Structure 1
Amino acid sequence: MKPVFIIADNIVSPIALTANENFDLLKAGVSGIQLHHTTIAPEPFYAALFNEDAGFTASVNNADAYTKFERLLITSVQDALSLAPVDCAGKRTVLIISSTKGNISLIEKEPFNADVKRRVGLPASARAVADYFHFTTNPVVVSHACISGLVALITGMRLLQSGRFDHAVVAGADIITQFILSGFRSFHAISNAPCKPFDAQRNGITLGEAAATVVLSVEKPQTKNYIRLSGGAVSNDANHISGPSRTGEELHYAIEAAVKEAGMAKSAIDFISAHGTATIYNDEMEAKAIQLSGLQQVPVNSLKGYYGHTLGAAGLIETVASAHSLKANMILPTPGFETPGTTVPLHINKVLQTGIYGACLKTASGFGGCNAAIVLQKAI
């Protein structure tokens, strides 16, 4: 199959508005998580949220015509395309949008009418973003719980490998609303402090809002130190609508399939960017899956302590950060982790680590028992 390369990327987050700026601040240990007092909750809560003057809409033309969610996507895509211009109007380029909730905030703020009903639908936002950049192909929407970002990347990879397209602009975003926060609170899944992935004292997630974009291409980059998306797979454990597998076998299946497609030995994986939500059951399941895959000695990190759980953007944000980690020969630490807290021991990375790294495994899991894994490889 055709090799697929990452030719540009972006992260728009409460930390910074470009991928390079985000990565520099991650290396410095900067987190976007703060204690917030907002109208979406009756009491303060920890999250990574944009300030009102975040400035991410400054470059969006006719910004008032778009929702906050759509402006986030446009800003992210715009920056990525500035790094690797592709022919958006051409028939060989596709736009893929990843999100879990999209414009759900409209039902909290607007009278529910036909226009709000239309705009809440993800296809409406995808069309708005596609038209902004003059895409002529129909945009693809991926909304698959918290693995949406990875599934969107795998979808883009498959479309390019099939020969249907030469370029895929894969963008994901979610914003935190009263609907989302109250939903997770109903599961008693929100931590009362910044999240602590894989830690013995972890007690839930910290939410975050952000956007990220990855531009995929079948055209090999001319620069050195580029990243190839070389494998990906999805599985489902069908255990429970909100509770993951108790064995980790199904995520293990996705890991095995992704590594096999990448055509590499598992011993070549230098680090794992885990989903690492800091809930009791997710972290335990991931630990078991990693052990079943024979990777328990490989350094693992979770970036949720920097960004919070950004839902449909999480897989993309963490993929971009992992790609930059490979290029910089660095493994980022896991903010919040202090004491091992899973029954299966893992090599959780606690400090910024340097070395020579060539491959990364990225995993994700979500409601409904869904799991995904991709493999990133660096070419010198």
Structure 2
Amino acid sequence: METMENHHATIASVAITAYSALSACGIGNKTLYKSLIDNESQLAPLSLFNIPFPAYVGEIKQPLLAIREQLAEYNCRNARVALTALNDVDGGVREAIEIAKEKYGAHRIGVIIGTSTSGLYETESAYGVLLEEGNMPADFHFVTEHAYQATARFVQLELGLTGVCYAISTACSSGAKAIAAGQRLINGGLCDAVIVGGVDTLCRLTLRGFRSLELVSSEPCTPMDRNRKGISIGEAAGLLVLEKRHADNAHTMKVLAVGESSDAHHMSTPHPEGRGAALAMKNALQLAGLKAEDIDYLNLHATATKINDSVESRAVFSVFADSVPCSGTKGITGHTLGAAGALETIITLTALQQQFIPGTQGLQELDDDCQCQVIKAPLQTKNMQIAMSNSFGFGGNNASVIVAL
């Protein structure tokens, strides 16, 4: 195994004072934990719209909250998913932001949301009307629904914030990179708190696009399995509140570092030796001042495609050998694209808080070329303190998030 020197941290950790998830598992962190500990897949045939091929997806079935009249121009599925996660009482994200506003002022709180689809579902519907009637619907607003920054701006307005606000769209690493950006804003003194995360919703373009790449499975996906057949796309919101570290949040969970890389090997295929993926993990360790053996659990990107899983396992082994327990959770939630990095960071936080290693739902027989230690079924454990979550996007946009108790 390649070893690393134990560097002093080159980036200061930030506190995580609240987080909330909304996915096919349901609303809130408790429903997510139940699906994880039960190792229960939430994948099911698509019902939101019709497509001419079979696909299992991680679709949110719970009713979504309505957008208030003052922000009606932002009304789209992505914004409603964000709002529903934001208002989850158990997660406490809205409450944490209100406390932060009192503490720092609205102008010192930023918003960074990762997404790959934004309001594309509404755009597709609007163009359907255009084809049938010759005009776009009067209630369709391109900038406040379709555009990438729309969800971030909606969250900012909904919360009454006036600080830094922008979106990140680097495909499947978007949510993780939003966490990295939030940490930098706090460390750079531009913000005292930042609400970060990812929000992505199902739409026709992503399903048809991945189908054109022959990557969509007609069955629930089976990450890291030797007979895996492709991805199951999902939708989700994962929102976290990051704050600068001080005495009153000293005992909260924290983001230690986010390692990033961009190998730009190919538009949709990772480097065959996993160089970019390995570099992201190494960068995260170096920024956090950690060695490979300090990581107690690794949440794999594990999309269940033939190439991606194989390459990731090779990259993980190059950094950790078989010393760290790993699992991939997309067999439960589906691949939530721009939200995946944030959702799976929350899954990793849940693993630390509840002291268990999630299973790899759907895994029956580990692929022959996978050398890393992949956990099939949930495993109760003790003394887990530090964990990593991988998110790798198209174009070699890679991010590895390290969180700790």
- Whether the TM-score (by the shorter chain) exceeds 0.5 is yes
Q: TM-score w.r.t. structure 1 length?
A: 0.93
Query: 2:34, 2:368 → 1: CA distance?
Result: 30
Report what 2:362 is aligned to: 336
- Give, in angstroms, the shift of residue 145 of structure 1: 0.8
Query: 2:365, 2:250 → 1: CA distance?
Result: 39
The one-letter code of the counterpart of 1:31 is S
Query: 1:25, 1:125 → 2: CA distance?
Result: 27
Of the candidates 110, 116, 127, which is equivalent to residue 94 of structure 1? 110
Does structure 2 conserve the Cα–Cα contact (< 8 Å) formed by 1:2 and 1:160? no
Query: 2:191, 2:308 → 1: CA distance?
Result: 35
Of the candidates 275, 279, 296, which is equivalent to residue 253 of structure 1? 279
The one-letter code of the counterpart of 2:117 is K
Aligned residues: 375
Query: 1:262, 1:342 → 2: CA distance?
Result: 33
- Give, in angstroms, the shift of residue 323 of structure 1: 0.5
Query: 1:141, 1:12 → 2: CA distance?
Result: 19
Report what 2:142 is aligned to: 117
- Give, in angstroms, the shift of residue 221 of structure 1: 7.2
**Deviation sequence 1:148-176 (CA, Å, 0-9, x none):** 01100000011111111110101311111
Q: Structure 1 residues 264 and 25 mapped into 2: Cα distance closer, same or farther (>3 Å)?
A: same
Q: Structure 1 residues 342 and 168 mapped into 2: Cα distance closer, same or farther (>3 Å)?
A: farther
Of the candidates 68, 73, 78, which is equivalent to residue 61 of structure 1? 68
Does structure 2 conserve the Cα–Cα contact (< 8 Å) formed by 1:37 and 1:43? no
Does structure 1 conserve the Cα–Cα contact (< 8 Å) formed by 2:293 and 2:320? no
The one-letter code of the counterpart of 1:140 is Y
- Give, in angstroms, the shift of residue 122 of structure 1: 1.6
- Give, in angstroms, the shift of residue 225 of structure 1: 6.1
Does structure 2 conserve the Cα–Cα contact (< 8 Å) formed by 1:77 and 1:171? no
| SS of corresponding position for 2:106 | coil
Q: Structure 1 residues 113 and 36 mapped into 2: Cα distance closer, same or farther (>3 Å)?
A: closer
Of the candidates 341, 365, 369, which is equivalent to residue 392 of structure 2? 365
Report what 2:353 is aligned to: 327
Report what 2:52 is aligned to: 42
Query: Do residues 9 (structure 1) and 19 (structure 2) align?
Result: yes
- Give, in angstroms, the shift of residue 129 of structure 1: 2.4
Query: Do residues 156 (structure 1) and 182 (structure 2) align?
Result: yes
Q: TM-score w.r.t. structure 2 length?
A: 0.87
Q: Structure 1 residues 342 and 229 mapped into 2: Cα distance closer, same or farther (>3 Å)?
A: farther
**1:121-200, aligned counterparts within 5 Å?**
121-200=147-226
- Give, in angstroms, the shift of residue 342 of structure 1: 4.8
The one-letter code of the counterpart of 2:389 is K
| SS of corresponding position for 2:237 | strand
**Deviation sequence 1:54-108 (CA, Å, 0-9, x none):** 12316x5348651111111122223342452321862211011110010112222
Report what 1:72 is aligned to: 81
Does structure 2 conserve the Cα–Cα contact (< 8 Å) formed by 1:2 and 1:218? no
Does structure 2 conserve the Cα–Cα contact (< 8 Å) formed by 1:225 and 1:327? no
Q: Counting helix residues as a fraction of each chain, which structure ranks higher? A: 2
- Give, in angstroms, the shift of residue 220 of structure 1: 4.3
Query: 1:230, 1:295 → 2: CA distance?
Result: 22
The one-letter code of the counterpart of 2:402 is V
Report what 1:202 is aligned to: 228
The one-letter code of the counterpart of 2:146 is V
- Give, in angstroms, the shift of residue 277 of structure 1: 0.1
| SS of corresponding position for 1:30 | coil
Query: Do residues 238 (structure 1) and 264 (structure 2) align?
Result: yes
Q: What is the aligned-residue identity percentage?
A: 27
Query: 1:47, 1:22 → 2: CA distance?
Result: 16
Unaligned 5+ residue runs, structure 2?
A: 1-10, 131-135
Across the aligned residues of Structure 1 and Structure 2, the Cα RMSD in angstroms comes to 2.1
Query: 1:83, 1:332 → 2: CA distance?
Result: 28
Report what 2:4 is aligned to: none
